[in-house]
Amino acid sequence: MFLFMKFPPSFSSLSPSSLFRFIVLFIITVLIVCEKTRAVVKLPPNVSVPAVLVFGDSIMDTGNNNNNLATTARCNYPPYGKDFKGGIPTGRFSNGKVPSDLIVEELGIKEFLPPYVDSKLEPGELATGVCFASGGAGYDPFTAQSSFTISLSGQLGLFREYIGKLKAAVGEERTKFILKNTLYIVVLGSNDISNTYFLTRVRQLQYPNFSAYADFMLSSASTFFKEIYGEGARRIAVFNVPPLGYLPSQRTIGGGIRRDVVVKINDAVQIFNTKLSKQLESLNHDLPDSRMVYVDVYNPLLDIIVNYQKYGYKVGDRGCCGTGTIEVVLLCNRFTPLCSNDLEYVFWDSFHPTESVYKKLISPVIGKYLNKFL
């Protein structure tokens, strides 16, 4: 930290005012240094996580849909990003940072995870990680197809393109090392269950029993996990699906006049999550050296939603944007009235948590699971 300043030769030769200036400068320097290296987790000295690569949906997307005018799953306009670097709508589906950013920050890698599909992406970002997630995507190929967003196979294609660019930038050997030690994060399934299965019911006709649809989602997921394993991925964190029946939009659509919790959706989510956990165990068994880790966000998020007051929130069943009962993406726009203080809300819009909730969620999750990858 003393790189930034010259240590004075002797304190006795200093006048009181320059001593005071020295102390102030010292404190500021310490604050800057601490802020820049705020890595909450400490890795063992022989372990390195050089990068984070994210595949997923709007929980993780940091702006990949911004230039895709075909989709409504876009939010690069106010009030999204209200608290992002003083109010920049970047395409993140929240008021501030999303889990992709919080994870790289927590690991001390960088402050934000840039969207890969950005013409202004700095080449220097490749070696420390990018985000392939696209709001509206799912494990079921039909989910992204119906929302005109980047499907899982599309995200895989971008990953392969990324590998080519990484090789050109850092060489074959270093690329191998990065691909092997990167932390891969996969967060999908919410749109399959809430939209494709229960809202539009496209798949309900085909799979009247949800359990069969969950198997279908998992076969697509497994193919994907094997593909990235084949490209060199080893440390793969797969988030389970959150308690969708508690989301404000689902309560409005399926919860009747009292906006009750939608039990059948939560039951479906739990069926899927149980199967996902077993599937990952079996893949770990079959694929040598793989560390595919089932990450439970369902229960910690459920606890925040149900016991919102314990966490310091005042509202747990409505979003901050508009009436909070239905507004998301297009319906949450610059003309929509906002709540006066989003720090009092669990949800930012009717589908996505506030940055404050994401922070409370992600830090303990990293603390709990990180050692499983090392």
Ligand X SMILES: *[C@@H]1O[C@H](CO)[C@@H](O)[C@H](O)[C@H]1NC(C)=O
Binding site for ligand X (CB under 6 A): 44, 46-47, 209, 211
d(CA 233, CA 45): 21
Cβ of residue 262: shortest distance to ligand X, in angstroms?
Answer: 17
CB of 334 closer than 8 Å to CB of 328: no
Q: What is the DSSP letter of 131?
A: B
Cβ of residue 214: shortest distance to ligand X, in angstroms?
Answer: 9
Cβ of residue 107: shortest distance to ligand X, in angstroms?
Answer: 16
Cβ of residue 51: shortest distance to ligand X, in angstroms?
Answer: 16
Tell me if residue 192 is catalytic: no
CB nearer to ligand X: pick between 211 and 307 = 211
CA distances from 213 to 71, 193, 206, 272 (A): 25, 9, 8, 9
Query: What is the residue-wise DSSP string for 340-367?
Result: S-GGGEEESSSSSB-HHHHHHHHHHHHH
Query: Which of the residues 101, 192, 317, 349 is marked catalytic?
Result: 349
Query: Which of the residues 83, 350, 352, 356 is marked catalytic?
Result: 352
CB of 169 closer than 8 Å to CB of 123: yes
- The three-class DSSP label of residue 191 is helix
Cβ of residue 164: shortest distance to ligand X, in angstroms?
Answer: 27
- The three-class DSSP label of residue 259 is coil
Query: Which of the residues 58, 134, 249, 350 is marked catalytic?
Result: 58
CB nearer to ligand X: pick between 168 and 212 = 212
Tell me if residue 146 is catalytic: no
d(CA 239, CA 313): 24
CA distances from 335 to 63, 65, 322, 352 (A): 21, 22, 9, 19
CB nearer to ligand X: pick between 18 and 211 = 211
Tell me if residue 285 is catalytic: no
CB nearer to ligand X: pick between 9 and 45 = 45
CB nearer to ligand X: pick between 82 and 203 = 203
| Catalytic residue IDs | 58, 349, 352
